[in-house]
């Protein structure tokens, strides 16, 4: 056998002469001949590797993963055979590029016994659980020997427990010598899927690979059956990994820690090598695993500061070494000296003892050992824990009492935590004093947006972000980043040379130029235009958590977004904004035809925030109904002066709008200041027809109107009334002062009666109530329809009648109202206004109706002068105008559906009709194809002599279409059978016998299949819509109420008076169009708004408390806790059982020993009796 471990005949260069030479040596001939010493460098040669690819383990517990290997590349067990002197940089490149492994944030190098050893079940469970937790939470690589024996097998057992509970793969790298691998020839092949049998031959001295490892590096130095080839390569690879940066934002290298289980004398030497490295590698010793680990733990406990052993301990330690390793005196003393060398760096050794109070889990021991071993500053330790994402380590071992932090270090850590998406660290840093108001500046926020995967040379600025937010939020939203004030601050910070697009830079310069001109010209400027560039506060944000929420949403970081939603003010608004942005992003992702599940993921995130908004509204409503309704409509200055209700509607969050709180608010808005609950339509109609009845109606007090949003005019009138009341009260003060004290006391005890509204305010409140406007417009519309119907039914004269002039006036004033609605909408630009306005179907219908009416009106008057007795036959222009009138009235009758939509019973059916018409397109297209496939051949067969004409297109469709409704034209089915009928006799010709067959097939497909399919489709739509009809109707009710809330008081054609009055007021008061005054809203003081924010924060806190209580009291959580307790009890019972068995064995041994002692004592007694008898007999003889 050669020194490499192989038989001589197994060498590639084996020849007959070489065989004779070795046989002579074996026989003892030429024994004086010098034999050259064998070495790897001289007696081996290197070639390209012939073994790499994927291992498909056969048999054992790994069979279930073999199926997954074909589906998911990250489950593959990759391997490579390489030389012992391969450069570690090349190996790392292979692992990162070819194997697509992620660079670790920690390397755990496991060392211990190579032979089989047993661990106590309790110790094995805790060590395995802690090791897996350390690897999973930090993204670590575990490096072992890779074979299915010794410490590597115990690591594999821990991986098996993890694999059965989680699908997440742990990178476990086995570095083993190629020569000690059983069945290694099965792995030979280039880029192959190699089946590998894990069953070990009991007579073999080799070992199989552990099938729970994810990657294998098989080191070949030409030897067989010998360990040691992998030691140097493994250490060099760990050093190379240590030189890599742990994260792009962190300058530190990947830390390495050594973990020691059991082991022989070589493990102690390995520990010394780790401690003497530069920089040294921390070592964690697991006490209780046996042999080398226990000796290291014992010596560590006995050693004093400086590495000295107390007197009297040395002999005991040497004696322990002798017993443990069966060493002689000299070997034991040498190993003892090695231990003393290790103890000189005692601070780098951490002993993990199961059951100690200091370390509950081994993962904590590993990570704290690294923190102690690196001897880094507090900030560097914080960065390490940040990279590992172990907030518990940072909280307990970094943020300790009395720790001093450099100025700005925690803010830098906060920036890194945000970029790395470490939510728990963001929370920890805030708890330890990081002010988000001081932290978040404009440059930092822009840096956060530029940390994503951007193309080279591409940079995002906040103005771009503002435009994106406006696009996602819709045309009515105006982001802070695009306003003039922010642009001025931003451009002053970034400089005029900043490249942000030529067109955008031009706009920014124009904004600054306009500001300069206004300053020089001493023109009046608004508050938003006054910017103090030198003030540091201008570079910060008033609500930093809101800005970070938008950043997290746009970067698709859901957990971070949920954290920022939970903290800060305006939680409901933040949830609704996030819901809207996510929903718009999901729509854009779907329109981009992305093949992944990005759209569904974004939609799920949107639903989560929508559910949070609904649940928060429910929590607020349970606490205080009035405050909850105020939350819906108070002005959100940080969110484009919108309201929560508007945000919910723009997000299409139907459950939010359909909530009881929202519907109660809408009902109050619908009634305005009228205080009525029953027979409201009857009272309103009667008051419209008899105005004096308005004085008899009940009206709400100012307190009852406190939660109802109002228009600017209504609020101003209420304020004027309050001022008048206050002035009247002030005038009466001297009179009150002279009253007797008794009377004053009685007056104070009398409850204050609500003051009645003045007559003018009653009329104002009545006619401005949306319900009154609705019935006023409805009555006027019914009158208009009656007149229009009369106009089209009776004979139309040359000059319009009075009825027709009224109809013309009504439609003309309606057109003016539509134009006013467009220009007064909340959208910014005119194209956005038009786009938003035309998004409603009834607005499109009204536009078509108005345009077609005026076309008919022009045609009707265009025929003037050509009017005679035979007008309806000769004046085609007049006839066209009248027919246009007749067709135009269809749109106005359909418009009645909009009035029916307000009714709770009829409204859902109107919505169903629209849903059915919108979704039947594809079925109608299929029916049209079937119709044409029959109509064309039928026409061609029956009428072969037709000339070119446009009537052919009508004839193709005409008869087949009516056949769908039952008209089969029986006389044309078989025209040759009806020769007696002169009408169809001429149709009998060649091929007409095919017509009955074609018609039969057509009617079967069209009438039986397609029509029934259409009916089934309608039925399905009905069932779907019926289930959500109530919610959808409540959602549509908002639009209806808001439309009438903003309508003028008078209906068409009297609406022109309202328009003239509004125009007159605008000219007289010189009021500018202000976006903040559009739409109803609550007018709250700063104190009231602060109370509202405090109430909202209280509701958020109570919501999470209830959620936590519900979670802990839930069945799943209780089952999990019970399972853990039962598992703990099983372990304790097993330990008790082991102790009982040990006691039993001890008692049995003691019993046997006692029995043996009893036998010996009995034998002794018998012997004594015999001796006594002999002495007595001898004494008697002597006496005789």
What are the pLDDT digits (tens) for 818-865?
998 888 877 667 877 888 788 878 889 899 999 999 999 888 887 665
Domain coordinates in residue numbering, the chain = 8-38, 47-261, 542-670, 770-900+1048-1055, 919-1045, 1122-1178
**Burial, 611: exposed, middle or buried (Cβ in 10 Å; 0-12, 13-18, 19+)?**
middle
Q: Is residue 283 within 8 Å of residue 260, measured between CB atoms?
A: yes
CA separation (Å) from 486 to 138, 479, 482, 706? 41, 10, 7, 34
The predicted model gives 1127-1155 an average pLDDT of 84
Contacts of residue 828, defined as CB under 8 A and 6 or more positions apart, other chains included, come to 475, 476, 478
Nearest-angstrom CA–CA distance, 1156 and 129: 47
What is the model's pLDDT at position 230? 85
Nearest alpha carbon to residue 716 among 761, 657, 670: 761
What is the model's pLDDT at position 200? 75
What is the model's pLDDT at position 872? 57
Nearest-angstrom CA–CA distance, 175 and 229: 10
> What separation, in Å, do the N-terminal and C-terminal C-alpha atoms of the chain show?
85
Contacts of residue 822, defined as CB under 8 A and 6 or more positions apart, other chains included, come to 833, 834, 837
Nearest-angstrom CA–CA distance, 740 and 668: 43
What is the model's pLDDT at position 612? 94
Kindly provide the residue ranges of all beta strands, DSSP E only, lying in 489-602, ordered along the sequence: none
Q: Tell me, what DSSP letter sits at residue 458?
A: -
Task: Give percent of the chain with pLDDT exceeding 70.
Answer: 81
Residues 614, 618, 621, CA angle at the centre, nearest 5°? 135
Nearest-angstrom CA–CA distance, 21 and 27: 10
Nearest alpha carbon to residue 826 among 1047, 669, 641, 612: 641
What are the pLDDT digits (tens) for 1032-1072?
888 888 888 888 888 898 998 998 998 888 888 777 765 44
Which SS3 state, helix, strand or coil, does residue 272 take? helix
Contacts of residue 978, defined as CB under 8 A and 6 or more positions apart, other chains included, come to 971, 984, 985
Question: Beta-carbon neighbour count of residue 966 at 10 Å?
Answer: 8
Nearest-angstrom CA–CA distance, 714 and 292: 87
What is the model's pLDDT at position 886? 92
Nearest-angstrom CA–CA distance, 585 and 152: 48
CA separation (Å) from 1090 to 369, 618, 1087, 1097? 49, 21, 5, 11
CA separation (Å) from 241 to 143, 277, 623? 12, 14, 57
What average pLDDT does the chain have? 80
Position 65 pLDDT exceeds 50 = no
Decide which of 474 and 975 is more confident: 474
DSSP per-residue letters across 731-769: HTHHHHHTS-HHHHHHHHHSPPPPPPPPHHHHHHHHHTS
The predicted model gives 195-200 an average pLDDT of 82
Residues 529, 1088, 1042, CA angle at the centre, nearest 5°? 75
How would you classify the pairing of strands 256-261 and 245-247? unpaired
DSSP per-residue letters across 875-914: -HHHHHHHHHHHHHHHHHHHTHHHHHTTSTTTHHHHHHHH
What is the model's pLDDT at position 576? 95
* H or E element that contains 128: helix 121-138
Nearest-angstrom CA–CA distance, 769 and 708: 12
DSSP per-residue letters across 471-502: HHH-TT---GGGSHHHHHHHHHHH-TT--S-H
What is the model's pLDDT at position 164? 61
897 pLDDT band, cuts 50/70/90, is: confident
What is the model's pLDDT at position 201? 76
What is the model's pLDDT at position 564? 94
Position 868 pLDDT exceeds 90 = no
Decide which of 911 and 194 is more confident: 194
The predicted model gives 421-429 an average pLDDT of 91
Nearest alpha carbon to residue 391 among 349, 411, 362, 421: 421
Helices (H) and strands (E) in the chain, counts: 50, 12
* H or E element that contains 177: strand 172-177
The predicted model gives 432-437 an average pLDDT of 86
Q: Is residue 759 within 8 Å of residue 695, measured between CB atoms?
A: yes
Nearest-angstrom CA–CA distance, 844 and 847: 5
Nearest-angstrom CA–CA distance, 385 and 106: 11
Q: Is residue 122 within 8 Å of residue 157, measured between CB atoms?
A: no
What is the model's pLDDT at position 1029? 77
The predicted model gives 394-407 an average pLDDT of 77
What are the pLDDT digits (tens) for 538-554?
667 888 999 999 999 99
What are the pLDDT digits (tens) for 591-611?
876 667 888 899 999 999 999
Nearest alpha carbon to residue 614 among 650, 568, 580, 662: 662
The predicted model gives 931-943 an average pLDDT of 86
What is the model's pLDDT at position 495? 61
Position 515 pLDDT exceeds 90 = no
């Amino acid at each position: 056998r050669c020194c490499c471990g192989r038989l001589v005949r197994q060498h590639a260069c084996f020849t007959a002469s070489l065989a004779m030479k070795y046989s002579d040596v074996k026989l003892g001939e030429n024994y004086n001949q010098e034999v050259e010493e064998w070495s790897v460098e001289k007696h081996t040669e290197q070639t390209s590797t012939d073994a790499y690819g994927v291992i498909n383990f056969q048999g054992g517990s790994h069979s279930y993963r073999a199926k997954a290997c074909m589906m998911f590349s990250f489950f593959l067990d990759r391997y490579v055979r390489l030389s012992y002197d391969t450069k570690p940089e090349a190996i790392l490149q292979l692992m990162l590029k070819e194997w697509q492994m992620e660079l670790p944030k920690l390397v755990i190098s496991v060392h211990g016994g190579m032979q089989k050893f047993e661990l106590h079940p309790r110790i094995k469970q805790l060590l395995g659980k802690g090791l897996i937790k350390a690897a999973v939470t930090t993204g670590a690589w575990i490096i072992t020997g890779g074979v299915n024996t010794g410490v590597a097998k115990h690591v594999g057992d821990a991986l098996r427990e993890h694999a059965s509970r989680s699908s997440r793969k742990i990178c476990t790298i086995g570095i083993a010598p190629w020569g000690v691998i059983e069945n290694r020839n099965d792995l030979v092949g280039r880029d192959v899927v190699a089946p590998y049998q894990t069953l070990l031959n009991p007579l073999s001295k080799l070992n199989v690979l552990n099938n729970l490892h994810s990657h294998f590096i098989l080191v070949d130095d030409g030897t067989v059956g010998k360990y040691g080839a992998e030691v140097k390569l493994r250490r060099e690879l760990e050093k190379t990994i240590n030189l890599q940066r742990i994260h792009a934002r962190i300058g530190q290298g990947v830390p390495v820690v050594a973990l020691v289980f059991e082991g022989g004398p070589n493990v102690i030497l390995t520990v010394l090598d780790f401690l003497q490295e530069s920089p040294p590698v921390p070592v964690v010793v697991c006490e209780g695993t046996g042999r080398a680990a226990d000796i290291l733990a014992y010596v560590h406990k006995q050693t004093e500061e400086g590495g000295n052993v107390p007197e009297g301990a040395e002999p005991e330690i040497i004696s322990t070494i002798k017993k443990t390793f069966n060493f002689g005196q000299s070997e034991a003393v040498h190993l003892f000296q090695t231990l003393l060398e290790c103890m000189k760096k005692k601070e780098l050794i951490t002993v993990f003892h199961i059951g100690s109070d200091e370390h509950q889990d081994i993962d904590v021991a590993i990570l704290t050992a690294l923190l102690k071993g690196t001897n880094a500053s507090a900030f560097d330790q914080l960065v390490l824990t940040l990279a590992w994402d172990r907030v518990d380590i940072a909280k307990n071992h970094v943020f300790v009492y009395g720790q001093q932090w450099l100025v700005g270090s925690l803010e830098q850590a906060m920036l890194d935590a945000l970029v790395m998406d470490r939510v728990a660290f963001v929370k920890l840093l805030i708890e330890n004093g990081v002010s988000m108001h001081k932290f978040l500046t404009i440059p930092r926020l822009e840096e956060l947006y530029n940390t994503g995967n951007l193309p080279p040379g591409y940079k995002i600025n906040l103005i771009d972000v503002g435009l994106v937010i406006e696009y996602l939020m819709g045309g009515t939203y105006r982001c802070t980043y695009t306003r003039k004030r922010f642009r001025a601050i931003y451009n002053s910070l970034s400089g005029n040379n900043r490249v942000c697009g030529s067109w955008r830079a031009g706009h920014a310069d124009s904004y600054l130029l306009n500001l300069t001109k206004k300053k020089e010209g001493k023109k009046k400027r608004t508050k938003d235009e006054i910017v103090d560039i030198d003030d540091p506060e201008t570079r910060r944000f008033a609500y930093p958590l809101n800005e970070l929420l938008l950043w997290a949403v746009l970067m698709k970081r859901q957990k971070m977004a949920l954290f920022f939603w939970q903290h800060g003010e305006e939680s409901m608004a933040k949830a609704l904004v996030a819901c809207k942005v996510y929903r718009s992003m999901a729509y854009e992702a779907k329109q981009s035809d992305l093949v992944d599940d990005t759209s569904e993921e974004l939609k799920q995130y949107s639903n989560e925030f929508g559910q949070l908004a609904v649940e928060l509204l429910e929590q607020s409503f349970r606490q205080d109904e009035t405050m909850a309704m105020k939350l819906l409509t108070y002005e959100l200055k940080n969110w484009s002066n919108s309201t929560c209700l508007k945000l919910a509607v723009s997000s299409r969050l139907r459950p939010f709008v359909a909530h009881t709180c929202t519907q109660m608010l809408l009902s109050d808005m619908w009634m305005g200041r009228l205080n009525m609950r029953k027979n409201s339509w009857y009272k309103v109609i009667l008051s419209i027809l008899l105005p004096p009845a308005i004085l008899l109606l009940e009206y709400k007090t100012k307190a009852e109107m406190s939660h109802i949003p109002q228009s600017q005019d209504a609020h101003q009138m209420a304020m004027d009334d309050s001022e008048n009341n206050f002035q009247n009260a002030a005038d009466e003060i001297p009179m009150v002062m002279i009253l007797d004290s008794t009377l004053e006391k009685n007056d104070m005890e009398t409850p204050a009666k609500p003051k009645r509204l003045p007559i003018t305010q009653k009329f104002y409140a009545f006619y401005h109530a949306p319900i009154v406007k609705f019935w006023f417009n409805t009555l006027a519309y019914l009158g208009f329809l009656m007149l229009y119907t009369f106009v089209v039914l009776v004979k139309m004269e040359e000059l319009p009648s009075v009825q027709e002039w009224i109809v013309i006036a009504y439609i003309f004033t309606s057109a003016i109202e539509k134009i006013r609605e467009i220009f007064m909408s909340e959208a910014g630009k005119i194209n956005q206004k038009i786009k938003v306005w035309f998004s409603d179907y009834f607005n499109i219908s009204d536009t078509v109706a108005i345009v077609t009416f005026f076309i008919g009106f022009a045609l009707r008057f265009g025929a003037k002068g050509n009017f005679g007795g035979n007008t309806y036959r000769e004046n085609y222009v007049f006839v066209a105008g009248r027919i246009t009138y007749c067709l135009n009235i269809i749109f106005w009758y359909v418009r009645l559906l909009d009035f029916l939509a307000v009714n709770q019973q009829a409204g859902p059916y109107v919505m169903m009709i629209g849903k059915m018409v919108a979704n039947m397109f594809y079925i109608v297209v299929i029916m049209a194809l079937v119709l044409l496939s029959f109509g064309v051949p039928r026409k061609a067969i029956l009428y072969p002599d037709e000339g070119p004409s446009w009537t052919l297109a009508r004839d193709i469709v005409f008869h087949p279409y009516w056949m769908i409704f039952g008209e089969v034209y029986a006389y044309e089915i078989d025209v040759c059978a009806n020769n007696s009928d002169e009408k169809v006799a001429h149709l009998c010709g060649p091929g007409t016998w095919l017509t009955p067959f074609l018609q039969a097939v057509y009617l079967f497909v069209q009438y039986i299949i397609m029509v029934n399919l259409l009916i089934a489709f309608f039925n399905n739509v009905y069932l779907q819509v019926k289930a959500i009809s109530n919610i959808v109707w409540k959602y549509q009710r908002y639009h209806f109420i808001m439309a009438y809330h903003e309508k003028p008081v008078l209906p068409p054609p009297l609406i022109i008076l309202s328009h003239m009055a509004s125009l007159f007021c605008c000219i007289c008061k010189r009021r500018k169009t202000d976006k903040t005054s559009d739409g109803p809203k609550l007018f709250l003081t700063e104190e009231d708004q602060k109370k509202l924010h405090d109430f909202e924060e209280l509701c958020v806190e109570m919501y999470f408390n209830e959620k936590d209580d519900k979670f802990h009291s839930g069945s799943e959580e209780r089952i999990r806790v019970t399972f853990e307790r039962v598992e703990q009890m099983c372990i304790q019972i097993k330990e008790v059982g082991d102790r009982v068995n040990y006691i039993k064995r001890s008692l049995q041994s003691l019993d046997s020993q006692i029995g043996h002692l009893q036998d010996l004592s009995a034998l002794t007694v018998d012997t004594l009796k015999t001796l006594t008898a002999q002495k007595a007999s001898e004494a008697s003889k002597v006496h005789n």
